[in-house]
Amino acid sequence: MRYRDRMRRVVGTHATLCLPVALVACASAPPARAPDSSITPCVASSPVWPAPVTTLNSRLVADPSLASPTDLNPALPDGLVAAEDLGLGGYAIVAGEPRKLRLDLVPLYVAGPASKRRSLAFFFHESDAQIADAESPIRMVGADAIGGTESAARPADLYAIHALDAIIKTADDINTTVPIDFALATGDNADNAQANELGWFVNVWDGVRFKPDSGVPDTQVDEDCNDPLAEFTPIGAHFPWYAVAGNHDVLVQGNFAPERYIDEAVGSDAPMGTRDLSQPGGPVTYTAVPDAARAVMERSDLASIYLDSPSTPGPAGHGYTRANVSANTVDWSASPVPNSPIALINVDANPPDIGDAVLTVKERDTYLLPAIRAATAANKLIILTSHYALGEMAVSDGTVLGDTLMGYPNVILVVAGHTHVNSVREFGTQGDNAGHGFLHGFWEIRTSSTVDWPGEGRFIEIVDNGDRTLSILTTLLDYEAPAGSLASRARALSLIDMQSGWRGQDGSGDVVDRNTELVVRVPNGWATKAGIPGVRSDLLP
């Protein structure tokens, strides 16, 4: 059904002009009249959520994209109508993919007895939720274009919250049979460095009831009688979660220093365009209803929002401490799994303004390397995390961080986001005997964005094989999206964005970037009987 026809079905022919009467008086509204009893009330159905299934057993594959982009932007009402008229938004469910054994770092590896294997950590990776206040005066919708500014607006902007809610719910359902130690959200949790956006993100993870709306109350009822702006109670994570800061968390539109926009963010002028959510579909407007909750954040504000999060599911601050607030930083370190030799170290690395991410010598020498050395002294295996991939990251002195990390054999894994594409890459130091592979190496994993296709999360497990090697098992997860649900609409809109050509990439990655077993050597001298017997990833549905 075309978008304009859906609006007439849902709220009547005059609703294209104004907000519901109960919310705001509309100057152009027609004279009051008796309700039309022939209009069937629009009531959303209660979706039936199926049992979760990982991509080991089935996965989603998008229908082909158009040969050339659509003329109209599908993030805006007329463009969405045109895209839906073309039948965009479809996908197929295909057979799952078994894990690919990757021996890039240990080519002579031969699996030993399964009875020796112990699970050291099993966690869920989510990235780039990009929760957006679509009617912010600094949203810059007018800049949205194919190519470099293709994320200034998305068809799924209003539904991003519900995609995040769905992926957390799906992980929760798996957690009932395969216990998850913690989750890790690797940045771009907010879209535009605004406090209200990050607050909404935290509410979804914590299961706190809220209305994902700003300015004055709005409504955007869709064809299934769902309103993505309605107050709702998220399912919330049933396991601890940690959060990393990305460039969209600390920079306006992910590019611009927030101090430039302190007044504009909370004002009414939107010179680069925003959305008018009092109108169906949210057409572009250049004025906004002011809202102090849209304040742009410094790093200390970001840390404070996480610290104000409820104590359940925890941990307190989700990695951040009061020291982050006082120092205006977003670096942190944690031991996320009790009685397990795993250290989790988060590195900021976000640029101060427009430009590529570069790790400063100061951050490397006064924070990162001391944190690595402390974990090494404690006999820990180290997972490094950042919004950006650290293996190839440049340092401000002209070096490459990955080369420095080779000096620390207990660094086994880097987990990141940012690209919105699933990828797995190895970094290693070649041994004298090529047949024996690398003397030392680590793996780097990036997982696709929750808001853009394919919207997947990833389970990651660290397993001690009991033979001087570790395996890192990765398993992608498509979120459940029952027909007629807000999550289903989120998925369809992310597909339309890609298939229309207004977002130029499929984030699925290659088969070697999805479900994998990544083998790495155990550092010399490292030994432990920690962990729990067996491999939890073997139990995934």
Contacts of residue 175, defined as CB under 8 A and 6 or more positions apart, other chains included, come to 238, 239
Whether 436 shows a pLDDT value over 70: the answer reads no
Looking at per-residue confidence, does 412 or 43 come out higher?
A: 412
| Confidence check: pLDDT of 428 > 90 | no
pLDDT tens for each residue of 211-249: 999 999 999 998 889 999 999 999 999 999 999 999 999
DSSP 303: H
Which run of H or of E encompasses 91? strand 91-95
- Span 419-437, average pLDDT: 75
Closest Cα to residue 329, out of 313, 357, 352? 352
**pTM for the whole structure:** 0.90
Task: State pLDDT tens for residues 113-168.
Answer: 888 999 999 999 999 999 999 999 999 988 878 877 777 789 999 999 999 999 99
Taking the C-alpha atoms of residue 310 and residue 197, their distance in angstroms, rounded to an integer, is: 17
Rounded CA-CA distance 228/159 in Å is 6
pLDDT in tens, 328-357: 999 999 999 998 999 999 999 998 888 788
Q: Decide if 423 contacts 513 (C-beta within 8 A).
A: yes
Instruction: Count CB atoms within 10 A of the CB of residue 358.
Output: 18
Specify the residue for token string 């459940």. Answer: 480
- Residue 501 or residue 39, greater confidence: 501
Express each pLDDT in 30-63 by its tens digit: 333 344 444 567 888 888 889 999 999 999 999 9
Q: Which two tokens stand for residue 235?
A: 């399912």
- Residue 309 near residue 318, CB atoms below 8 Å: yes
Cβ-Cβ contacts under 8 Å for 367 (sequence gap 6 or more): 331, 347
What is the rounded average pLDDT for all residues in the chain?
A: 89
